[in-house]
Amino acid sequence: MKFEDIFRLSLNSLMHRKLRSWLTVLGIVIGVAAVVALVSVGEGMQASITERLGSFGANIITISPGRMRAFGGIGQQEGASQTGNLTENDLRIVKTTLGILYTNGIVSGRAEVSYAGQTISVSIQGVDTSVWRFMETTDLESGRYLSQGDTYVAVIGNRIANDVFKKQITLNSQITIGGQNFRVVGILNLVGFIGQEDSSIFIPRDTARKILTGLSSNQLSSIVVQASDSSNVQDVATQIDERLMITRHVTNQTKDFTVQSTQAIQETVSSITQTMTLFLGGIAGISLLVGGIGVANTMFMSVVERTRLIGVLKALGTTNFEIMKLFLTESAIMGLVGGLVGVFLGFLLSDIISQLGLRMIGGGGGMGGISTVVTPQLALFAIVFSVSIGIISGLLPARRAAKLQPVEALRYE
């Protein structure tokens, strides 16, 4: 029997059992759509985080106070003081490390910020004005970056300018930080839901020490380093770690600081999001397996209903293998149709999830919400997997049909 004949017989059988066939296909559709939608969420999160971390620069290294307690590669600070146990001496040691382009010692904390009769506690970042503009990866919406010689001027995050206060802060506005008047000389672009810059105010470091309480002239909250070459970031990070351990007189057991590169963080985040994507896909895959059970049930019923037809085909010389191909083709068609429709619905669901995520988080620019990504590879995998589920589900019923004896099949009522 030619494959064209087998395909025609299989299609004819499905068309004669339209309602049952579509109900069976519906199980595959739901499973495939769930897989595509949930995996697209994981892929979208990974792409968004990777894009944002990539914008920080692959050659950025951060030294922060406190020891990092590992938790799947991304840790929590142990005993870290936000106003720092890093010092100006640490900054000098870091600056003398080979392979470094820029070094920015930062002091940070919170202060009362007043504008238009409203006072709110805001994150303040005191930066080295001589290098900050070269290391800052967020573009300006308006104005300029801080420059050397600035004192009581500020560059503010996008949410500080537009969302935090009832009245919008515009360029050259006067704001009060810790009782001191500052002029806004720059407003940063919106970064999005993982952007600390959006809710921070940047001022000169020496000025920040006068504003923030609990800070001495020798303390730093963190040190940010830009390596001269992204290919040797890990080597530079290792050198910094070793040099600081010597000058701070600590060991691996007593180390009270953490050195992390954006590159390492990106790899760790990528690993975590990949695991989460597989987990989401596995959960959705369960519904696809349930759909496969529906295919198997339908095929068993099809074998029973067409027992006499099987007997006739065998009497006419159809081989057992051809009988198997007949039923496997039928189950594969159901898997293919379910896969195609499921991928289409998965596209729609992922778009709905993306739109809902943007509205709930309030995104509108940059990375302000949850995005989803449906890749051609994901769509192809979903279709191939659904067809495979269909074939595997139809394998046992097909074997049962092939083993029927012609005489017994012809006598079946």
What sign does the CA torsion over 273, 261, 73, 125 have? Answer: negative
Say what the pLDDT of residue 76 is: 44
Helix axes 3-16, 320-361, angle to 10 degrees: 60
Interior CA angle at 356 toward 350 and 362, to 5°? 135
At residue 1, the pLDDT reads 63
Residue 97 backbone phi and psi in degrees, to 5: -75, 140
DSSP state of 370: -
CB 82 within 8 A of CB 123: no
DSSP state, residue 253: T
Check residue 364 and give its pLDDT. Answer: 43
Place of tokens 């500052």: 182
Which contiguous run of DSSP H or E holds residue 50? helix 18-56
Q: Which regions in the chain score pLDDT beneath 50?
A: 69-84, 360-368
Q: Which of 309, 385, 408 is nearest to 36 (CA)?
A: 385
E runs forming strands in 280-323: none
User: What span, in angstroms and rounded, lies between the C-alpha atoms of 102 and 222?
Assistant: 14
Question: CA-to-CA distance for 115 and 174, rounded, in angstroms?
Answer: 8
Rounded to whole angstroms, the Cα distance separating 285 from 380 reads 15
In whole angstroms, what is the distance from residue 134 CA to residue 241 CA?
Answer: 24
Tokens read off for 357: 């995520």
Q: What is the pLDDT of residue 407?
A: 65
Q: Tell me, what's the pLDDT at 294?
A: 81
Q: Which residues sit opposite 67 in a β-bridge?
A: 78
- Is residue 213 helix, strand or coil? coil
> Is residue 259 within 8 Å of residue 63, measured between CB atoms?
yes
CA distance 332 to 24: 12
Report strand pairing: 200-204 vs 118-127.
Answer: parallel
**Alpha-carbon gap, residue 61 to 259, rounded angstroms:** 7
| DSSP-based three-state secondary structure for 170 | coil
> How many beta carbons lie within 10 A of that of residue 203, not counting itself?
30
Q: What pLDDT shows up at residue 91? A: 93
Angle, CA of 188, 191 and 195, to the nearest 5°: 110
